[in-house]
């Protein structure tokens, strides 16, 4: 691939309004943007989507910056890299740090697709010209206001952040306003064994799924709930690798898997999990991380694979940002996003804005 340099930019993007879950409120999004350049000046872009604090995974933006600058970039023999899928093996000796690995690999995938003059979607075997999309409803959203706008944009699935034990009231209100749009809740691991009966009682709401009710890695409780519940259980944080997905499916711990390339260590692992789920007749969908348009563009390519049969969390750029890092910005029309046909991720970078919001930068030369 003739990699010449890798540049990291630590940025802060102000959100249009705070995004609130049970774990807290996010008012501005800290991210790492990775630019990998070859000897001819072609550039590929990736994004590290860890959060500033370890409420979602153990990784943070600060730990990812350290791992990339001090360990990963110097450890790779860049002259020997001929394909992005080789990077995970080169970094396999380092435990965890999936989001740092994913962001670096993503920049290679974008670069490689541009070198081959093909869209990232087509490069990885995508078959869709457009991907169906859903949207996340935050705890602080004014339901009547946001639902009207989401319905006009045509979002095809609503994912609801809920307060434990107060789910039913909120869900009934949304069902009343949502005109029959499929509805799911995101547990984010806040439930415990004593909540099994409470969760089973939510069957009467006929939800599309309940995502990650128990803590990450607890395949047993998810298995127990799924055996006793008609509503499909979906796993998110529990799936950080292909092996996790294999274990979850082998134990019947879920009927749906949310695939986030950043959570599983990169696009290569995400594709492997997708293929496993297709073989197992388990539907998958593409989750979101309140990311910039760069990561969103990678998600669009991933969601174009045939197994992604459930609308993903790939909303319009305007859902979170007054101004995104890509041009044109991601736009939802009639509940779908067009899959770019241009080489790589298919979007241009807004360099002026990227420079404006960069707080720190680092360049590694091979």
> Which tens digit of pLDDT belongs to each residue from 116-170?
999 999 999 999 999 999 998 877 778 888 898 899 999 999 999 888 999 998 8
Of 227, 252, 222, the residue nearest 237 (C-alpha): 222
Number of domains making up the chain: 2
pLDDT in tens, 200-234: 999 999 999 999 999 999 999 999 999 999 999 99
**Whether residues 212 and 140 fall in one domain:** yes
Distance, CA of 99 to CA of 83 (rounded, Å):
19
Determine contact, residues 99/287, Cβ cutoff 8 Å. no
**Whether residues 113 and 127 fall in one domain:** no
Q: Residue 305: inside a domain, yes or no?
A: yes
Distances (CA, A) of 328 to 15, 75, 106, 267, 299: 19, 35, 20, 23, 16
* pTM for the model: 0.95
The residues annotated with a catalytic role in the active site are 161, 260
**Whether residues 261 and 309 fall in one domain:** yes
Domain containing residue 72: CATH number: 3.30.390.10
**Whether residues 276 and 176 fall in one domain:** yes
322 pLDDT exceeds 90? Answer: yes
Determine contact, residues 302/259, Cβ cutoff 8 Å. yes
Mean pLDDT calculated for residue range 310-333 = 95
**Whether residues 113 and 176 fall in one domain:** no
**Whether residues 170 and 308 fall in one domain:** yes
pLDDT in tens, 248-296: 999 999 999 999 999 999 999 999 999 999 999 999 999 999 999 999 9
Distance, CA of 353 to CA of 323 (rounded, Å):
8
Q: Which domain holds residue 36?
A: 3-117+348-365
Chain-centre distance for alpha carbon 326: 17
Q: Residue 343: inside a domain, yes or no?
A: no
**Whether residues 139 and 95 fall in one domain:** no
**Whether residues 262 and 325 fall in one domain:** yes
100 pLDDT exceeds 80? Answer: yes
Q: Residue 23: inside a domain, yes or no?
A: yes
């Amino acid at each position: 691939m003739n990699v010449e340099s890798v540049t990291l930019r630590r940025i802060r993007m102000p959100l249009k309004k705070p995004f609130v879950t049970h774990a807290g409120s996010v008012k501005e999004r800290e991210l790492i943007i990775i630019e990998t350049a070859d000897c001819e000046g072609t550039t590929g872009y990736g994004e590290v989507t860890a959060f500033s604090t370890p409420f979602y995974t153990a990784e943070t933006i600060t730990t990812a910056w350290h791992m990339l600058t001090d360990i990963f970039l110097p450890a790779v023999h860049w002259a020997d890299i001929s394909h992005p899928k080789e990077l995970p093996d080169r970094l396999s000796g380092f435990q965890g740090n999936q989001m740092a690995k994913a962001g670096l690999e993503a920049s290679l995938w974008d670069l490689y697709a541009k070198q081959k003059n093909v869209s990232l979607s087509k490069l990885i075997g995508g078959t869709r010209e457009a991907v169906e999309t859903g949207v996340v409803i935050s705890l602080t959203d004014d339901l009547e206001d946001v639902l009207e706008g989401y319905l006009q944009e045509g979002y095809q699935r609503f994912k609801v952040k809920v307060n434990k034990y107060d789910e039913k009231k909120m869900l009934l209100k949304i069902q009343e306003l949502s005109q029959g749009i499929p509805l799911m809740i995101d547990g984010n691991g806040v439930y415990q064994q004593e909540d099994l009966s409470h969760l089973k009682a939510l069957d009467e709401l006929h939800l599309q799924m309940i995502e990650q009710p128990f803590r990450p890695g607890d395949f047993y409780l998810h298995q127990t709930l799924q055996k006793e519940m008609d509503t499909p259980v979906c796993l998110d944080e529990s799936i950080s690798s292909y092996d996790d997905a294999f274990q979850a499916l082998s134990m019947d711990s879920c009927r749906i898997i949310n695939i986030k390339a950043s959570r599983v260590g990169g696009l290569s692992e995400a594709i492997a999990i997708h293929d496993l789920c297709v073989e197992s007749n388990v539907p998958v969908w593409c989750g979101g991380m309140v990311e910039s348009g760069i990561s969103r563009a990678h998600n669009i390519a991933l969601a174009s694979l045939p197994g992604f049969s459930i609308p993903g969390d790939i909303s319009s750029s305007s859902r979170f940002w007054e101004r995104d890092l890509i041009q044109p910005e991601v736009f939802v029309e009639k509940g779908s996003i067009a899959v770019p046909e241009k080489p790589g991720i298919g979007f241009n970078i807004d360099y002026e804005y990227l420079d404006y919001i960069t707080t720190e930068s680092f360049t590694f030369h091979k």
